[in-house]
Amino acid sequence: MTTGIVTCYRHHDRRAGVTCQRCGRPICPSCMVPASVGFHCPECARAGAQQVHTMRSLRAPSGGPVVTQVLIALNAVVFLADLVAGGAASLWASSYSRISEWGLLVGAALGSNGQPIGVADGQWWRIVTSGFLHAGLVHIGMNMLVLWILGSQLEPALGRARFLALYLTSLVAGAFGVLLVSPTSPTVGASGAIFGLLGAAFAAQRARGIDPWRSGLGGLLILNLVITFAVPGISVGGHVGGLLGGLLAGFVVFRLDERTRSAVPAVVACAAITVVLWVGCLWAASHWADPVLGFLSSR
């Protein structure tokens, strides 16, 4: 006796929503790749050389980008508070606001009062708080624009829990890159986490049978990396660290998403990666920045 329920040919525990327009096999929403007419399965999408994809191919019916909106709101509130305190517009000047000096990322340095500050001095919260501080209106404006574009695509595809876990992993990965490359330079901004989202989007397209180089995402990544290395004052460690962290976490998250509907395994995996990166931040701050701070203090 048959039940009449058709399941996805790739995920036998999931109900098929449509059939592939090219091969006719039943596919679930996770396997649906939009085509010029209907939907294709991942295999047919890879085989169709004439097909052009965009970031919209990542969309899935799982709600609006609420977490993205909350993250943007948090960044805006912190920026306004820092601006009122007198630090956001002149963060790199000799005088810092209490908010910016308390929250910026640095492995080891001397504060405005001449006392040591930084992750190496036990101020571990800087690993996270630095990702919500920005050095001026243009800085936060550009970061929040890109966060909205990426978040509005990735969050509906991943779900809120997985997207937030991925964002936080990318943020800590960016901090780890900063503490490895420039541990004594005060650093702020959400760009490390945003580069992580770019890496995750790259992983998402690969996992769903989309060629990132043909969709335009690969070129966008290369362009941003060129800007990172070519323009002075941009955190190379933060951008590259966030990108690599997001790429790794993204591959893990989307592979797990193919195997289970539950968000728990992906969140746990991101948490595990974040813990490793966090330990790396503490190690890098102590082993790379402390000797430099000792030299500065002795002069």
User: Is 66-298 assigned to CATH 1.10.760.10?
Assistant: no
pLDDT at residue number 74: 97
First to last CA, the chain: 85
Q: Within the chain, where are the H helices? A: 42-47, 66-85, 98-103, 126-129, 137-158, 160-181, 191-207, 212-215, 217-230, 236-259, 264-284, 290-298
Query: What are the structural domain ranges in the chain?
Result: 1-51, 66-298
Q: What is the share, in percent, of the chain residues with pLDDT greater than 90?
A: 41
Locate 187 and state its tokens.
Answer: 């650093």
Amino acid at 216: G
What pLDDT digit, counting tens, does each position of 123-171 carry? 999 999 999 998 888 889 999 999 999 999 889 888 899 999 999 999 9
Amino acid at 174: G
What pLDDT digit, counting tens, does each position of 80-97 carry? 888 887 755 444 444 467
**116: which strand partners?**
110
The number of CA neighbours under 13 Å toward the Cβ of 251 is 8
Residue reference for tokens 């009062």: 113
- Tell me the Cα Rg of the chain: 22
∠ at Cα 148 (135, 280), nearest 5°?
Answer: 60
Residue reference for tokens 């990166």: 277
Least confident range of 76-80, 225-229, 286-290? 286-290
What pLDDT digit, counting tens, does each position of 145-157 carry? 999 999 998 898 8
With CA atoms as reference, report the closest residue to 45 among 67, 74, 25. 25
With CA atoms as reference, report the closest residue to 133 among 60, 74, 196, 176. 74
pLDDT at residue number 275: 97
Q: What is the share, in percent, of the chain residues with pLDDT greater than 70?
A: 84
Contacts of 236 (CB under 8 A, 6+ apart): 177, 181, 182, 228, 229
Tell me if residue 48 falls in helix, strand or coil.
coil
d(CA 268, CA 81): 33
pLDDT at residue number 288: 67
